[in-house]
A and B are shown apart, each in its own frame.
Chain A
Amino acid sequence: MSALAPLGRLGRAVLVALAHVGRVTLFALSALGHMVRPPFYPREIGHALMNVGWLSLPVVGLTAIFTGGALALQIYAGGARFNAEAVVPQIVAIGMVRELGPVLVGLMIAARVTSSIAAEIATMKVTEQIDALVTLSTHPMKYLAAPRVLAALITVPLLVGVGDVIGIAGGYAVAVQNLGFNPAAYLKNTVDFLEPLDLISSLVKGAAFGLIAAVMGCYFGMNSGRGAQGVGRATKGSVEAAAVLILAANFILTGVFFSV
Protein backbone atom coordinates (compact mmCIF):
# COMPACT_ATOMS: atom_id res chain seq x y z
CA MET A 1 0.00 0.00 0.00
CA SER A 2 2.72 2.46 1.02
CA ALA A 3 4.62 1.66 -2.16
CA LEU A 4 1.63 2.81 -4.17
CA ALA A 5 1.04 5.95 -2.09
CA PRO A 6 3.09 8.30 -4.31
CA LEU A 7 1.14 7.00 -7.29
CA GLY A 8 -2.10 7.79 -5.51
CA ARG A 9 -0.93 11.30 -4.73
CA LEU A 10 0.08 11.80 -8.33
CA GLY A 11 -3.29 10.55 -9.48
CA ARG A 12 -5.09 12.93 -7.17
CA ALA A 13 -2.96 15.85 -8.32
CA VAL A 14 -3.76 15.03 -11.94
CA LEU A 15 -7.47 14.86 -11.13
CA VAL A 16 -7.35 18.20 -9.35
CA ALA A 17 -5.52 19.75 -12.28
CA LEU A 18 -8.04 18.32 -14.74
CA ALA A 19 -10.92 19.65 -12.67
CA HIS A 20 -9.31 23.09 -12.80
CA VAL A 21 -8.87 22.91 -16.55
CA GLY A 22 -12.52 21.94 -16.87
CA ARG A 23 -13.72 24.77 -14.67
CA VAL A 24 -11.57 27.37 -16.43
CA THR A 25 -12.77 26.15 -19.82
CA LEU A 26 -16.42 26.37 -18.77
CA PHE A 27 -15.74 29.80 -17.30
CA ALA A 28 -14.16 31.01 -20.55
CA LEU A 29 -17.05 29.63 -22.62
CA SER A 30 -19.55 31.29 -20.31
CA ALA A 31 -17.72 34.64 -20.57
CA LEU A 32 -17.67 34.37 -24.37
CA GLY A 33 -21.34 33.42 -24.40
CA HIS A 34 -22.29 36.45 -22.31
CA MET A 35 -20.16 38.60 -24.57
CA VAL A 36 -22.36 37.97 -27.60
CA ARG A 37 -25.76 37.89 -25.89
CA PRO A 38 -27.59 41.03 -24.71
CA PRO A 39 -27.87 42.97 -22.51
CA PHE A 40 -24.61 44.72 -23.26
CA TYR A 41 -22.98 47.26 -20.99
CA PRO A 42 -21.39 49.85 -23.30
CA ARG A 43 -20.03 51.91 -20.42
CA GLU A 44 -18.23 48.91 -18.97
CA ILE A 45 -16.90 47.93 -22.39
CA GLY A 46 -15.62 51.48 -22.90
CA HIS A 47 -13.84 51.41 -19.55
CA ALA A 48 -12.32 48.03 -20.31
CA LEU A 49 -11.10 49.14 -23.76
CA MET A 50 -9.47 52.13 -22.10
CA ASN A 51 -7.80 50.09 -19.34
CA VAL A 52 -6.74 47.06 -21.31
CA GLY A 53 -5.83 48.81 -24.55
CA TRP A 54 -5.04 52.47 -24.43
CA LEU A 55 -3.41 52.60 -21.01
CA SER A 56 -1.21 49.59 -21.85
CA LEU A 57 0.38 51.42 -24.78
CA PRO A 58 3.28 53.02 -22.87
CA VAL A 59 4.46 49.81 -21.25
CA VAL A 60 4.08 47.88 -24.51
CA GLY A 61 5.97 50.55 -26.46
CA LEU A 62 8.85 50.66 -23.99
CA THR A 63 9.13 46.88 -23.82
CA ALA A 64 9.17 46.59 -27.59
CA ILE A 65 11.65 49.37 -28.30
CA PHE A 66 14.27 48.07 -25.86
CA THR A 67 13.81 44.50 -27.04
CA GLY A 68 14.12 45.45 -30.71
CA GLY A 69 17.27 47.45 -29.98
CA ALA A 70 18.89 44.65 -27.98
CA LEU A 71 17.93 42.13 -30.63
CA ALA A 72 19.70 44.17 -33.34
CA LEU A 73 22.87 44.38 -31.22
CA GLN A 74 22.85 40.64 -30.50
CA ILE A 75 22.21 39.55 -34.04
CA TYR A 76 24.93 41.87 -35.30
CA ALA A 77 27.44 40.56 -32.76
CA GLY A 78 26.43 36.94 -33.26
CA GLY A 79 26.25 37.25 -37.04
CA ALA A 80 29.73 38.79 -37.12
CA ARG A 81 31.16 35.42 -36.08
CA PHE A 82 30.32 33.99 -39.48
CA ASN A 83 30.22 37.16 -41.57
CA ALA A 84 26.43 37.36 -41.52
CA GLU A 85 26.02 40.86 -40.03
CA ALA A 86 23.80 41.81 -42.95
CA VAL A 87 20.89 39.66 -41.77
CA VAL A 88 20.05 42.04 -38.89
CA PRO A 89 16.89 43.53 -40.52
CA GLN A 90 15.45 40.16 -41.48
CA ILE A 91 16.08 38.46 -38.14
CA VAL A 92 14.88 41.43 -36.12
CA ALA A 93 11.69 41.51 -38.17
CA ILE A 94 11.02 37.82 -37.93
CA GLY A 95 12.01 37.60 -34.27
CA MET A 96 9.81 40.50 -33.26
CA VAL A 97 6.77 39.66 -35.35
CA ARG A 98 6.69 35.91 -34.89
CA GLU A 99 7.84 35.51 -31.30
CA LEU A 100 9.01 38.39 -29.16
CA GLY A 101 6.27 40.86 -30.04
CA PRO A 102 3.36 38.61 -29.10
CA VAL A 103 5.09 36.95 -26.14
CA LEU A 104 6.40 40.11 -24.52
CA VAL A 105 3.16 42.00 -25.06
CA GLY A 106 1.27 38.98 -23.70
CA LEU A 107 3.44 38.84 -20.59
CA MET A 108 3.16 42.58 -20.07
CA ILE A 109 -0.62 42.31 -20.34
CA ALA A 110 -0.54 39.47 -17.83
CA ALA A 111 1.43 41.68 -15.46
CA ARG A 112 -0.61 44.79 -15.98
CA VAL A 113 -4.12 43.76 -16.95
CA THR A 114 -4.59 40.28 -15.46
CA SER A 115 -3.38 41.45 -12.08
CA SER A 116 -5.60 44.50 -12.03
CA ILE A 117 -8.67 42.58 -13.20
CA ALA A 118 -8.09 39.87 -10.59
CA ALA A 119 -7.49 42.33 -7.76
CA GLU A 120 -10.49 44.45 -8.67
CA ILE A 121 -12.94 41.58 -9.05
CA ALA A 122 -11.57 39.78 -5.97
CA THR A 123 -12.05 42.94 -3.90
CA MET A 124 -15.59 43.20 -5.21
CA LYS A 125 -16.18 39.61 -4.23
CA VAL A 126 -14.72 40.05 -0.76
CA THR A 127 -16.74 43.21 -0.08
CA GLU A 128 -19.96 41.53 -1.30
CA GLN A 129 -20.21 43.83 -4.32
CA ILE A 130 -20.67 40.78 -6.54
CA ASP A 131 -23.55 39.59 -4.35
CA ALA A 132 -24.97 43.10 -4.57
CA LEU A 133 -24.76 42.96 -8.37
CA VAL A 134 -26.75 39.74 -8.36
CA THR A 135 -29.45 41.19 -6.12
CA LEU A 136 -29.69 44.11 -8.54
CA SER A 137 -30.55 41.62 -11.32
CA THR A 138 -27.17 42.06 -13.00
CA HIS A 139 -25.20 39.00 -14.01
CA PRO A 140 -21.59 39.32 -12.80
CA MET A 141 -20.28 37.37 -15.80
CA LYS A 142 -22.05 39.73 -18.14
CA TYR A 143 -21.27 42.93 -16.28
CA LEU A 144 -17.72 42.19 -15.14
CA ALA A 145 -16.19 39.37 -17.20
CA ALA A 146 -17.68 39.81 -20.68
CA PRO A 147 -16.60 43.46 -21.20
CA ARG A 148 -13.06 42.74 -20.06
CA VAL A 149 -12.70 39.64 -22.22
CA LEU A 150 -14.12 41.49 -25.22
CA ALA A 151 -11.77 44.42 -24.68
CA ALA A 152 -8.78 42.09 -24.43
CA LEU A 153 -9.77 40.20 -27.58
CA ILE A 154 -9.97 43.46 -29.50
CA THR A 155 -7.05 45.41 -28.11
CA VAL A 156 -4.33 42.86 -27.39
CA PRO A 157 -3.87 41.96 -31.10
CA LEU A 158 -3.67 45.68 -31.82
CA LEU A 159 -1.13 46.11 -29.04
CA VAL A 160 0.88 43.23 -30.47
CA GLY A 161 0.80 44.94 -33.87
CA VAL A 162 2.00 48.17 -32.30
CA GLY A 163 4.66 46.24 -30.37
CA ASP A 164 5.88 44.59 -33.58
CA VAL A 165 6.22 47.95 -35.34
CA ILE A 166 7.92 49.66 -32.40
CA GLY A 167 10.26 46.69 -31.87
CA ILE A 168 11.31 46.82 -35.51
CA ALA A 169 11.74 50.57 -35.16
CA GLY A 170 14.00 49.99 -32.15
CA GLY A 171 16.13 47.58 -34.15
CA TYR A 172 16.19 50.02 -37.02
CA ALA A 173 17.30 52.89 -34.81
CA VAL A 174 20.17 50.90 -33.32
CA ALA A 175 21.20 49.45 -36.69
CA VAL A 176 21.21 52.83 -38.42
CA GLN A 177 22.71 54.85 -35.54
CA ASN A 178 25.30 52.44 -34.17
CA LEU A 179 25.87 49.67 -36.66
CA GLY A 180 26.17 51.68 -39.87
CA PHE A 181 23.20 50.24 -41.78
CA ASN A 182 21.70 52.16 -44.67
CA PRO A 183 18.23 53.35 -43.57
CA ALA A 184 16.44 52.75 -46.87
CA ALA A 185 18.02 49.33 -47.39
CA TYR A 186 17.14 48.30 -43.82
CA LEU A 187 13.48 49.13 -44.32
CA LYS A 188 13.35 47.48 -47.72
CA ASN A 189 14.92 44.29 -46.37
CA THR A 190 12.43 44.23 -43.51
CA VAL A 191 9.39 44.72 -45.69
CA ASP A 192 10.51 42.29 -48.39
CA PHE A 193 11.31 39.58 -45.92
CA LEU A 194 8.10 39.52 -43.89
CA GLU A 195 5.27 37.38 -45.21
CA PRO A 196 1.54 37.70 -44.56
CA LEU A 197 1.61 34.55 -42.43
CA ASP A 198 4.10 36.21 -40.07
CA LEU A 199 1.69 39.05 -39.44
CA ILE A 200 -1.35 36.78 -39.19
CA SER A 201 0.37 34.55 -36.65
CA SER A 202 1.33 37.60 -34.63
CA LEU A 203 -2.25 38.88 -34.44
CA VAL A 204 -3.74 35.44 -33.76
CA LYS A 205 -1.30 34.98 -30.92
CA GLY A 206 -2.29 38.41 -29.64
CA ALA A 207 -5.96 37.43 -29.58
CA ALA A 208 -5.22 34.13 -27.84
CA PHE A 209 -3.01 35.78 -25.22
CA GLY A 210 -5.58 38.52 -24.66
CA LEU A 211 -8.25 35.90 -24.06
CA ILE A 212 -6.01 34.04 -21.63
CA ALA A 213 -5.02 37.19 -19.76
CA ALA A 214 -8.57 38.48 -19.30
CA VAL A 215 -10.14 35.10 -18.50
CA MET A 216 -7.50 34.30 -15.88
CA GLY A 217 -7.99 37.68 -14.21
CA CYS A 218 -11.76 37.23 -14.06
CA TYR A 219 -11.62 33.56 -13.04
CA PHE A 220 -9.22 34.06 -10.16
CA GLY A 221 -11.00 37.23 -9.08
CA MET A 222 -14.43 35.63 -8.96
CA ASN A 223 -13.11 32.58 -7.12
CA SER A 224 -11.16 34.61 -4.60
CA GLY A 225 -11.00 33.52 -0.98
CA ARG A 226 -12.08 35.76 1.86
CA GLY A 227 -10.28 38.82 3.16
CA ALA A 228 -7.21 40.74 2.03
CA GLN A 229 -5.27 37.49 1.91
CA GLY A 230 -7.81 36.06 -0.51
CA VAL A 231 -7.36 39.05 -2.81
CA GLY A 232 -3.58 38.70 -2.65
CA ARG A 233 -3.71 35.00 -3.49
CA ALA A 234 -6.15 35.53 -6.33
CA THR A 235 -3.95 38.22 -7.86
CA LYS A 236 -0.76 36.21 -7.59
CA GLY A 237 -2.42 33.07 -8.91
CA SER A 238 -3.97 34.87 -11.86
CA VAL A 239 -0.66 36.33 -13.05
CA GLU A 240 1.19 33.04 -12.66
CA ALA A 241 -1.48 31.11 -14.50
CA ALA A 242 -1.80 33.69 -17.26
CA ALA A 243 1.97 33.90 -17.83
CA VAL A 244 2.47 30.14 -17.96
CA LEU A 245 -0.56 29.60 -20.18
CA ILE A 246 0.56 32.38 -22.54
CA LEU A 247 3.98 30.77 -22.95
CA ALA A 248 2.43 27.33 -23.45
CA ALA A 249 -0.09 28.68 -25.96
CA ASN A 250 2.73 30.46 -27.76
CA PHE A 251 4.63 27.20 -28.14
CA ILE A 252 1.54 25.46 -29.50
CA LEU A 253 0.63 28.27 -31.89
CA THR A 254 4.20 28.52 -33.18
CA GLY A 255 4.01 24.80 -33.88
CA VAL A 256 0.69 25.20 -35.67
CA PHE A 257 1.85 28.08 -37.83
CA PHE A 258 5.47 27.31 -38.58
CA SER A 259 6.32 23.64 -38.13
CA VAL A 260 7.05 22.12 -41.49
Chain B
Amino acid sequence: MTLPPDPGPDTAPMIRLEGVRKSFGPKHVLRGVDLAIPRGSSMVIIGGSGTGKSVALKCILGLITPDAGRIEVDGQETGTARGAERDAFLARFGMLFQGGALFDSLPVWQNVAFRLLRGALKRPQAEAREIAIKKLRRVGLSPDVADLFPAELSGGMQKRVGLARAIAAEPEIIFFDEPTTGLDPIMAGVINELIREIVVEMGATAMTITHDMTSVRAIADDVAMLHDGVIQWTGPVAKMDESGDPYLDQFIHGRAEGPIEAVR
Protein backbone atom coordinates (compact mmCIF):
# COMPACT_ATOMS: atom_id res chain seq x y z
CA MET B 1 0.00 0.00 0.00
CA THR B 2 1.40 3.42 -0.92
CA LEU B 3 1.06 6.31 1.44
CA PRO B 4 -0.28 9.58 0.07
CA PRO B 5 2.58 12.01 -0.58
CA ASP B 6 3.60 13.98 2.47
CA PRO B 7 2.08 17.44 2.09
CA GLY B 8 5.29 19.05 3.45
CA PRO B 9 5.51 22.47 4.99
CA ASP B 10 5.24 24.33 1.69
CA THR B 11 1.75 23.22 0.88
CA ALA B 12 0.47 23.96 4.36
CA PRO B 13 -1.88 26.92 4.19
CA MET B 14 -0.47 30.35 5.03
CA ILE B 15 -3.63 31.28 6.88
CA ARG B 16 -6.08 28.89 8.47
CA LEU B 17 -9.27 29.71 10.34
CA GLU B 18 -11.10 27.06 12.32
CA GLY B 19 -14.47 27.61 13.92
CA VAL B 20 -13.92 31.33 14.38
CA ARG B 21 -16.82 33.00 16.16
CA LYS B 22 -17.43 36.62 17.02
CA SER B 23 -20.47 38.37 18.43
CA PHE B 24 -21.04 42.01 19.27
CA GLY B 25 -23.54 41.90 22.09
CA PRO B 26 -26.59 40.00 20.83
CA LYS B 27 -25.37 40.22 17.24
CA HIS B 28 -23.69 37.00 16.09
CA VAL B 29 -21.50 38.10 13.22
CA LEU B 30 -19.18 35.12 12.71
CA ARG B 31 -20.67 31.76 13.66
CA GLY B 32 -17.87 29.33 12.99
CA VAL B 33 -15.76 30.35 10.02
CA ASP B 34 -13.46 27.69 8.53
CA LEU B 35 -11.12 28.78 5.78
CA ALA B 36 -7.65 27.95 4.49
CA ILE B 37 -5.59 30.17 2.23
CA PRO B 38 -2.67 28.47 0.50
CA ARG B 39 0.72 30.17 0.54
CA GLY B 40 1.26 32.53 -2.39
CA SER B 41 -2.33 32.44 -3.55
CA SER B 42 -5.02 35.03 -3.86
CA MET B 43 -8.23 34.47 -1.95
CA VAL B 44 -11.21 36.69 -2.54
CA ILE B 45 -13.95 36.92 0.05
CA ILE B 46 -17.38 37.90 -1.16
CA GLY B 47 -20.62 38.24 0.70
CA GLY B 48 -23.40 40.65 1.48
CA SER B 49 -22.86 43.95 3.20
CA GLY B 50 -22.59 43.54 6.95
CA THR B 51 -21.91 39.80 6.89
CA GLY B 52 -18.62 40.21 8.76
CA LYS B 53 -15.97 40.18 6.04
CA SER B 54 -14.06 43.09 7.54
CA VAL B 55 -14.47 41.60 11.01
CA ALA B 56 -12.91 38.35 9.77
CA LEU B 57 -9.82 40.16 8.46
CA LYS B 58 -9.47 42.07 11.71
CA CYS B 59 -9.67 38.83 13.66
CA ILE B 60 -6.72 37.43 11.73
CA LEU B 61 -4.69 40.56 12.48
CA GLY B 62 -5.68 40.46 16.14
CA LEU B 63 -7.38 43.86 15.98
CA ILE B 64 -10.54 42.09 17.13
CA THR B 65 -10.32 39.13 19.49
CA PRO B 66 -12.57 36.28 18.35
CA ASP B 67 -14.84 34.73 20.98
CA ALA B 68 -13.90 31.20 19.95
CA GLY B 69 -11.98 29.29 17.33
CA ARG B 70 -8.44 29.03 16.13
CA ILE B 71 -6.47 31.18 13.70
CA GLU B 72 -3.10 30.08 12.40
CA VAL B 73 -0.69 32.05 10.29
CA ASP B 74 2.17 30.04 8.83
CA GLY B 75 1.43 27.24 11.28
CA GLN B 76 1.61 29.52 14.33
CA GLU B 77 -1.45 30.26 16.35
CA THR B 78 -2.08 34.00 16.46
CA GLY B 79 -3.32 36.02 19.36
CA THR B 80 -0.82 34.70 21.89
CA ALA B 81 2.16 36.76 20.72
CA ARG B 82 3.18 39.82 22.74
CA GLY B 83 5.78 42.55 22.41
CA ALA B 84 8.57 41.89 19.93
CA GLU B 85 6.97 38.65 18.78
CA ARG B 86 3.76 40.44 17.88
CA ASP B 87 5.74 43.17 16.10
CA ALA B 88 7.46 40.49 14.03
CA PHE B 89 4.06 38.93 13.29
CA LEU B 90 2.56 42.23 12.17
CA ALA B 91 5.63 43.12 10.12
CA ARG B 92 4.68 40.29 7.73
CA PHE B 93 1.31 41.94 6.98
CA GLY B 94 0.06 44.83 4.94
CA MET B 95 -3.52 45.95 5.28
CA LEU B 96 -5.68 48.26 3.22
CA PHE B 97 -8.58 49.38 5.39
CA GLN B 98 -12.03 49.75 3.90
CA GLY B 99 -12.10 53.43 4.83
CA GLY B 100 -8.45 54.09 3.99
CA ALA B 101 -7.55 54.89 7.61
CA LEU B 102 -4.87 57.33 6.50
CA PHE B 103 -3.18 59.36 9.22
CA ASP B 104 -4.58 62.80 8.62
CA SER B 105 -1.81 64.52 10.57
CA LEU B 106 0.83 63.26 8.13
CA PRO B 107 1.38 64.14 4.46
CA VAL B 108 0.69 61.45 1.88
CA TRP B 109 4.27 60.30 1.41
CA GLN B 110 4.80 59.88 5.16
CA ASN B 111 1.63 57.81 5.31
CA VAL B 112 2.94 55.53 2.57
CA ALA B 113 6.43 55.33 4.08
CA PHE B 114 5.18 55.08 7.68
CA ARG B 115 6.86 51.74 8.32
CA LEU B 116 10.04 52.87 6.61
CA LEU B 117 10.41 55.98 8.77
CA ARG B 118 10.44 54.26 12.16
CA GLY B 119 10.93 50.95 13.88
CA ALA B 120 12.76 47.89 12.58
CA LEU B 121 12.53 48.80 8.89
CA LYS B 122 13.71 52.39 9.35
CA ARG B 123 15.65 53.91 6.44
CA PRO B 124 17.07 57.32 5.64
CA GLN B 125 14.32 59.85 5.00
CA ALA B 126 15.28 60.50 1.36
CA GLU B 127 15.23 56.80 0.56
CA ALA B 128 11.88 56.30 2.30
CA ARG B 129 10.43 59.17 0.31
CA GLU B 130 11.73 57.72 -2.93
CA ILE B 131 10.11 54.37 -2.17
CA ALA B 132 6.86 56.12 -1.24
CA ILE B 133 6.80 57.97 -4.56
CA LYS B 134 7.52 54.76 -6.44
CA LYS B 135 4.63 53.01 -4.68
CA LEU B 136 2.34 55.97 -5.35
CA ARG B 137 3.17 55.62 -9.06
CA ARG B 138 2.22 51.95 -8.94
CA VAL B 139 -1.25 52.84 -7.73
CA GLY B 140 -1.60 55.49 -10.43
CA LEU B 141 -0.84 58.61 -8.38
CA SER B 142 1.60 61.26 -9.57
CA PRO B 143 4.46 62.44 -7.34
CA ASP B 144 2.81 65.81 -6.72
CA VAL B 145 0.29 64.25 -4.36
CA ALA B 146 3.19 63.19 -2.09
CA ASP B 147 3.19 66.43 -0.13
CA LEU B 148 -0.57 66.86 0.13
CA PHE B 149 -2.49 65.86 3.24
CA PRO B 150 -5.06 63.04 3.05
CA ALA B 151 -7.94 65.49 3.55
CA GLU B 152 -6.94 67.20 0.30
CA LEU B 153 -7.48 64.03 -1.76
CA SER B 154 -10.62 62.57 -3.32
CA GLY B 155 -12.06 59.35 -1.88
CA GLY B 156 -10.63 57.19 -4.64
CA MET B 157 -7.21 58.81 -4.27
CA GLN B 158 -7.26 58.16 -0.52
CA LYS B 159 -8.07 54.54 -1.23
CA ARG B 160 -5.06 54.27 -3.49
CA VAL B 161 -2.77 55.95 -0.96
CA GLY B 162 -3.98 53.35 1.55
CA LEU B 163 -3.12 50.68 -0.98
CA ALA B 164 0.34 52.15 -1.52
CA ARG B 165 0.87 52.16 2.25
CA ALA B 166 -0.20 48.52 2.51
CA ILE B 167 2.36 47.39 -0.08
CA ALA B 168 5.15 49.85 0.78
CA ALA B 169 7.20 47.49 2.94
CA GLU B 170 6.60 44.55 0.57
CA PRO B 171 4.83 42.34 3.09
CA GLU B 172 4.36 38.59 2.63
CA ILE B 173 0.66 38.68 3.42
CA ILE B 174 -1.58 41.46 2.19
CA PHE B 175 -5.21 42.15 3.05
CA PHE B 176 -7.23 44.40 0.80
CA ASP B 177 -10.60 45.51 2.12
CA GLU B 178 -12.54 46.64 -0.95
CA PRO B 179 -9.58 47.95 -2.96
CA THR B 180 -11.59 49.09 -5.97
CA THR B 181 -14.69 50.62 -4.36
CA GLY B 182 -14.96 54.26 -5.34
CA LEU B 183 -12.57 53.96 -8.29
CA ASP B 184 -13.40 54.54 -11.94
CA PRO B 185 -13.44 51.36 -14.08
CA ILE B 186 -10.05 52.02 -15.64
CA MET B 187 -8.37 52.69 -12.31
CA ALA B 188 -10.11 49.62 -10.88
CA GLY B 189 -8.52 47.63 -13.72
CA VAL B 190 -5.11 49.06 -12.85
CA ILE B 191 -5.54 48.10 -9.20
CA ASN B 192 -6.75 44.58 -10.08
CA GLU B 193 -3.65 44.10 -12.19
CA LEU B 194 -1.45 45.44 -9.41
CA ILE B 195 -2.87 42.99 -6.90
CA ARG B 196 -2.40 40.14 -9.34
CA GLU B 197 1.21 41.23 -9.91
CA ILE B 198 1.94 41.38 -6.22
CA VAL B 199 0.77 37.80 -5.83
CA VAL B 200 2.43 36.40 -8.94
CA GLU B 201 5.71 38.33 -8.93
CA MET B 202 6.35 38.82 -5.24
CA GLY B 203 4.81 35.53 -4.17
CA ALA B 204 2.68 37.26 -1.57
CA THR B 205 -0.42 35.72 -0.08
CA ALA B 206 -3.39 38.00 -0.60
CA MET B 207 -6.85 38.14 0.87
CA THR B 208 -9.19 40.56 -0.82
CA ILE B 209 -12.71 41.60 0.06
CA THR B 210 -14.69 42.94 -2.84
CA HIS B 211 -18.23 43.35 -4.14
CA ASP B 212 -17.05 43.84 -7.69
CA MET B 213 -17.41 40.62 -9.70
CA THR B 214 -15.02 41.85 -12.41
CA SER B 215 -12.43 42.25 -9.66
CA VAL B 216 -13.16 38.78 -8.34
CA ARG B 217 -12.45 37.22 -11.70
CA ALA B 218 -9.33 39.34 -12.23
CA ILE B 219 -7.76 38.84 -8.80
CA ALA B 220 -8.85 35.50 -7.40
CA ASP B 221 -7.26 32.09 -7.37
CA ASP B 222 -9.90 31.00 -4.90
CA VAL B 223 -13.19 32.47 -3.83
CA ALA B 224 -15.01 32.15 -0.54
CA MET B 225 -18.48 33.39 0.12
CA LEU B 226 -19.41 34.45 3.63
CA HIS B 227 -23.08 34.24 4.44
CA ASP B 228 -24.89 34.08 7.75
CA GLY B 229 -21.67 33.88 9.72
CA VAL B 230 -20.19 30.87 7.93
CA ILE B 231 -18.34 30.18 4.68
CA GLN B 232 -21.24 29.25 2.44
CA TRP B 233 -19.10 28.17 -0.49
CA THR B 234 -15.41 28.10 -1.27
CA GLY B 235 -13.49 26.86 -4.27
CA PRO B 236 -11.33 27.88 -7.24
CA VAL B 237 -12.58 30.88 -9.18
CA ALA B 238 -13.02 28.71 -12.30
CA LYS B 239 -15.64 26.60 -10.51
CA MET B 240 -17.58 29.60 -9.27
CA ASP B 241 -20.02 29.67 -12.17
CA GLU B 242 -21.02 26.01 -12.00
CA SER B 243 -21.06 25.68 -8.23
CA GLY B 244 -24.75 24.83 -8.14
CA ASP B 245 -24.95 26.78 -4.89
CA PRO B 246 -28.10 28.90 -5.00
CA TYR B 247 -26.67 31.50 -2.60
CA LEU B 248 -23.49 31.97 -4.62
CA ASP B 249 -25.44 32.04 -7.90
CA GLN B 250 -27.73 34.71 -6.60
CA PHE B 251 -24.79 36.76 -5.38
CA ILE B 252 -22.63 36.59 -8.50
CA HIS B 253 -25.53 37.39 -10.77
CA GLY B 254 -26.81 40.13 -8.50
CA ARG B 255 -30.38 38.86 -8.47
CA ALA B 256 -32.88 40.40 -6.09
CA GLU B 257 -34.81 37.12 -5.90
CA GLY B 258 -33.29 34.05 -4.31
CA PRO B 259 -32.44 32.40 -1.00
CA ILE B 260 -30.65 35.53 0.29
CA GLU B 261 -33.37 37.87 1.43
CA ALA B 262 -32.89 41.53 0.75
CA VAL B 263 -34.69 43.56 3.38
CA ARG B 264 -37.01 46.02 1.72
A contact set with B: CB distance below 8 Å = 39, 41, 124, 127-129, 131-138
CB-CB contacts below 8 Å: B94-121 with A: 94-95, 97-99, 101-104, 114-115, 118-120
- Contact (Cβ within 8 A) A135 B90: yes
A41 to B103, CA, bound (A): 16
Q: Answer whether residue B73 sits at the interface, using C-beta atoms and an 8 A cutoff.
A: no
Question: How long is the Cα–Cα vector from A137 to B116 in the complex, in angstroms?
Answer: 11
**CB atoms of B119 and A138 under 8 A apart:** yes
Q: Are A131 and B115 interface neighbours, CB within 8 A? A: no
In the complex, which residues of chain B have a beta carbon less than 8 angstroms from the beta carbon of A133? 103
Q: Is the Cβ of A129 less than 8 Å from the Cβ of B103? A: yes
Determine if B97 and A137 form an interchain contact, defined as CB atoms under 8 angstroms apart. no
**Distance of A138 Cα from B101 Cα, bound (Å):** 14
Closest 4 A/B residue pairs (Cβ) = A132-B101, A128-B101, A135-B95, A137-B90
* 16 sample A-B contacts, Cβ–Cβ < 8 Å, listed by A number: A39-B119, A41-B118, A128-B101, A129-B102, A131-B58, A132-B102, A132-B103, A134-B61, A134-B62, A134-B90, A135-B93, A136-B114, A137-B91, A137-B115, A137-B119, A137-B120
Q: Which size class do B's interface residues fall under? A: 20 to 34
Nearest CB in chain B to that of A128: its residue: B101
Supplied contacts A131-B63, A132-B101, A136-B90, 13 more A-B pairs, CB within 8 Å? A127-B104, A128-B98, A129-B104, A131-B101, A132-B95, A132-B97, A134-B90, A135-B63, A136-B114, A136-B165, A137-B87, A137-B119, A137-B120
Contacts of B93 in A (CB 8 A): 135
Docked complex Cα distance between A124 and B95 (Å): 16
Contact A39 B97 (CB under 8 A): no
The answer to whether A127 touches B99 (Cβ under 8 A) is yes
**A121→B165 CA distance, assembly (Å):** 21
When C-beta atoms are compared, the residue in chain B nearest to A133 turns out to be: B103
Q: How far is the CB of A57 from chain B (nearest CB, A)?
A: 22
CB distance from A194 to the nearest CB of B (A): 42
CB atoms of B99 and A128 under 8 A apart: yes
A135 and B61 alpha carbons, distance in the complex (Å):
7
Assembled-state Cα–Cα distance A137/B90 (Å): 6
- List residues of chain B with CB within 8 A of the CB of A136: 90, 114-115, 165
Q: Name which residue of chain A comes closest to B87, CB basis.
A: A137
| B202 to A: closest C-beta gap in Å | 18
Q: A135-B63, A137-B87 are in contact. Are A127 and B118 (CB under 8 A)?
A: no
Bits for B175-208, please: 1 = Cβ < 8 Å to A, else 0. 0000000000000000000000000000000000
In the complex, chain B residues whose CB is within 8 Å of the CB of A127: 99, 101, 104
> A128–B177 Cα gap in the complex (Å)?
13
Chain A minimum-CB-distance residue to B121: A137
Closest chain A residue to B98 by CB distance?
A128
Say whether A134 contacts B118, CB under 8 Å: no
CB distance from B99 to the nearest CB of A (A): 6
Residues of chain B lying within 8 A (CB to CB) of residue A134: 61-63, 90
